[in-house]
Amino acid sequence: MHEESVEPKTRSRCAGSALSWTVSDGVIELALHRPPCNELGSASLEDLERFVTALAAIEAEAHALIIYSQMKSGFCAGADLRELYQRSQAMDKAEAAKGVRDFLERIHRVLNLIDATPLTTIAAVHGVTFGGGFELALACDLIIADKMARFCFPELRLGLIPGFGGIPRLKRDLGNAVVRDLLLTGRSFNASKAQQIGLVSQVVGEGEVLRAARATAAQLKKFDRATSAAAKKFIKPIPHEELRREIDLFCELFARPAVDAGLRKFVESTDAQPYLP
Amino acid sequence: MKTADQTLDEILNLAAAHFKVPREKLSPDDDFFKTLGIDSLQTLDLLTKLEHHFRVELPDYELQGVSDFRTLAGKIQARL
């Protein structure tokens, strides 16, 4: 389990196989705990859907949401590519394409709800924050990073683009030149660089990220909840049209043979560096 | 400006400390994946440690195919 220096008194708790959440002192904490590194597949999506359904009911009694990982290796390594590959191999092309579109529609719905919640949301990230994991963090209002966090969009080497809202949300937050660098080179970058380009609001020492997120959430509680929600809604519009186009483009690219080859290469790889683009 | 030998020595020290391997077991031409017994995610940890230590930005695509400490040191030295 990642470092937890301050353990708040928990009022309610709910656990799934891939994640669980607690509500305490007006702070909802969503903990990701699917080994090896919270890869987002069907089990994670179902848990996330349960969470956003519950969020609608519990957000009235809270002011902040913290999303963090209990896995040592990192926040989230992105989509579960092994599951994606195995499922697509078991279906014909049309079925696989429909399955991918359905998955994307569902995960976009979840991330849009997290993006739009009136709560102030904090992604407390450490280690690997790649692909879909990076996209989950980008749906949050603030990203607080352990100094060992690393961010990356490696999708292009699979012949794909990020599919969980990554490009529109990056464009919302950063300059286009930076977005092009991250997307087109597929390189990873560290927390200091992420703070330098304006993506991360705080960089903290190793093992300190959850403590820092909790301290930030405690500060947020001092403000009127409705004012915070209004400020958030004003400053953080959701790029619905671009998100919709991203799904279409992803599905178009997914139908190309290069993707099948890229996924197979990743899944069957014995390379010691499969996460290095 | 550090010399190439200093850079290499600091990488070996840092890798030994981070992965809790006796320093004397590490040699410049070792395959660090095998010697340290690390996977790709741990390699990214090492990359982050090196970037912090040397205060450089090292794009990971430059590390493709790099598996020994000496070549790694050369890549870092080129950015100092």
Q: What CATH number did the domain enclosing A166 receive?
A: 3.90.226.10
Assign A150 a pLDDT band (cuts: 50, 70, 90): very high
Its pTM stands at 0.91
Percent over 70 (pLDDT), chain A: 93
Q: Can you give the residue ranges of every domain in chain B?
A: 4-77
- Contact call for B61 and A273, based on CB within 8 A: no
Report yes or no on A217 lying in a domain.
Answer: yes
Domain B4-77: top CATH class: mainly alpha
Q: Does B79 touch chain A (CB under 8 A)?
A: no
Question: Which pLDDT value is given to residue A157?
Answer: 86
Q: How high does pLDDT run on average in chain A?
A: 91
pLDDT higher than 90, residue A253: yes
B39–A185 CB contact, under 8 Å: no
A269 — pLDDT class (breaks 50, 70, 90): confident
Closest to A127 (Cα-Cα) out of A206, A242, A192: A206
Q: How many domains does chain A have?
A: 1
| Residue in A142, A124, A149, A152 with CA at minimum distance from that of residue A201 | A142
HSE toward the beta carbon, residue A237, CA cutoff 13 A = 6
User: ipTM for the complex?
Assistant: 0.84
| 8 Å CB contact between A262 and A277 | no
- Has residue A186 been placed in a domain? yes
Asked whether residue A104 carries a pLDDT value surpassing 70, the answer given is yes
Give the separation between CA A260 and CA A87, rounded to whole angstroms: 12
Q: What is the dihedral of CA A204, B36, B77, A178, to 10 degrees?
A: -50
On whether residue A5 sits in a domain, the answer given is no
Is A174 exposed, middle or buried (CB count within 10 Å of its CB: 0-12, 13-18, 19+)?
Answer: middle
Res B19 pLDDT > 80: yes
pLDDT at position B79 is 93
Q: What is the pLDDT of residue A202?
A: 97
Q: Measured between CB atoms, does B39 come within 8 Å of chain A?
A: yes
Whether the predicted pLDDT of A246 surpasses 80 = yes
Is the CB of residue A185 less than 8 Å away from at least one CB of chain B?
yes
Task: Note whether residue A7 is domain-resident.
Answer: no
- pLDDT digits 0-9 by tens, A210-227: 999 999 999 999 999 999
Taking residues B44-63, what's their average pLDDT?
A: 92
Mean pLDDT to the nearest integer, B49-75: 92
Per-residue pLDDT for A185 more than 50?
Answer: yes
- Give the pLDDT score at B27: 93
Distance (Å) of CA A33 to CA A1, A30, A148: 9, 10, 19
Distance from CA of B23 to the nearest CA of A (A): 22
The answer to whether the CB atoms of B41 and A186 lie below 8 A apart is no
A–B CB contacts, 8 A cutoff, strictly below: 61
**A85: pLDDT confidence band, cut at 50, 70 and 90?**
confident
- Quick check: A181 pLDDT over 90? yes
DSSP A65-78: EEEEE--TTEEE--
Q: Is residue A105 part of a domain?
A: yes
For residues A133 and A164, give the distance between their C-alpha atoms in angstroms, rounded to a whole number.
9
pLDDT given for residue B60 in this prediction: 86
What is the pLDDT averaged over residues A46-71?
Answer: 94
Tell me if A145 sits within 8 A of A200, measured CB to CB. yes
* Domain that residue A217 falls in: 12-268
Q: How many angstroms separate the CA of residue B4 from the nearest CA in chain A?
A: 24
Residue A103 lies in a domain: yes
- Smallest CA–CA separation between A190 and chain B, in Å? 6
